Amino acid sequence: MMRALLVAALLAIVTPPVAAKRPVAEPAPRKGMLQGPFELHSRIYPGTVRRYWVYVPAGYDRNRPPNLLLFHDGQRAINPRGPLQLPAVLDRLIADGAIPVTLGVFVTPGNRSAHYPETLGLDNPDHRVAEYDALSDDYARMTLDELLPAVARGWRFAAEPARRAIGGTSSGAIAAWTVAWRHPEAFGNVLSFIGSYTSIGLTIGPDGLPRTPGGDTYPGLIRKSPIRSLRIFLQDGTGDLDNEHGNWFLANQQMLKSLEWANAHADAEGRGGPRYDIAHRWTGGGHSDADGGAILPDVLRWIWRDQRAAETR
């Protein structure tokens, strides 16, 4: 008995304690590189200049052009302390294989100046309304004929509209919709957060009649126009703005109802052709990027849900 106790005591002395297992930290995603800012002087909007940044994803291969995400109000989209933080979101989703490898382009509106003012920070340039809230083709032409060719001089990206998405918040969202609505051959996907489908762009002539239309025209245009091959995600908050330009939440509901009606009407008539691919999320917030930023990863997964990451690498 004494011998057994002595052996046990000796083992206790010479046997080291078993170290507790430390939790293994999840590896950080491979980070893409944010290039820029670059300046773009527009011929379509003479006297204006805008900034843009290019997010080059980890694993970028120019021989396998990646998907493209173009997002407006780029100064806020890339803000590392803001609610969107798009470069970090893309890093994580691409690393997880949740979306295809994607090149990001984040562009500001134009400013009437020789160079983009360093003092603007996250504020809006002075040509934003003229570009974002107009229903003309000018902003789309600037995007397709000036901005994307400038990006393409440095980086390749997909040409197929199904592999291109355009998005924004507020007036940046209606600008995204206008580009895709007019050019579905260039962009097949739209991310619209707190979209300004209101009368901001409306101007009235001396006779009291509309001289240029506002974004509140879109629900009627959607109902009376051929269906485009577009996938669109709409988000708005029940506490969004209500002012002289309109009621934002009602305007976004009108957009959704018009898209749904266009699909249902085409089905009822037995017409072939495309249908709008629509999803939406009504949240409880106001006119802020916060709610859109909270659901942004889910929206990007939904946009490219039928494209396996491996297929585009």
Task: For 22-67, give the secondary structure using H, E and C.
Answer: CCCCCCCCCCCEEEEEEEEECCCCCCEEEEEEEEECCCCCCCCCCE
- Nearest one of 175, 196, 280, 202 to 241, comparing CA atoms: 196
DSSP state of 228: P
How many Cα atoms sit within 13 Å of 252 on the Cβ side?
31
Q: Packing angle between helix 86-95 and helix 290-303, nearest 10 degrees?
A: 30
CB 281 within 8 A of CB 295: yes
Contact 38, 115 (CB under 8 A): no
Sort 115 into a burial class: Cβ within 10 Å, 0-12 / 13-18 / 19+: exposed
How far apart are the C-alpha atoms of 291 and 298, rounded to whole Å? 12
Over residues 280-313, the pLDDT tens digits come to 999 999 999 999 999 999 999 999 999 966 555 5
Q: Is the confidence at residue 21, as pLDDT, over 50?
A: no
pLDDT one-digit tens code per residue, 61-102: 999 999 999 999 999 999 999 999 999 999 999 999 999 999
Answer whether 240's CB lies under 8 Å from 283's CB: no
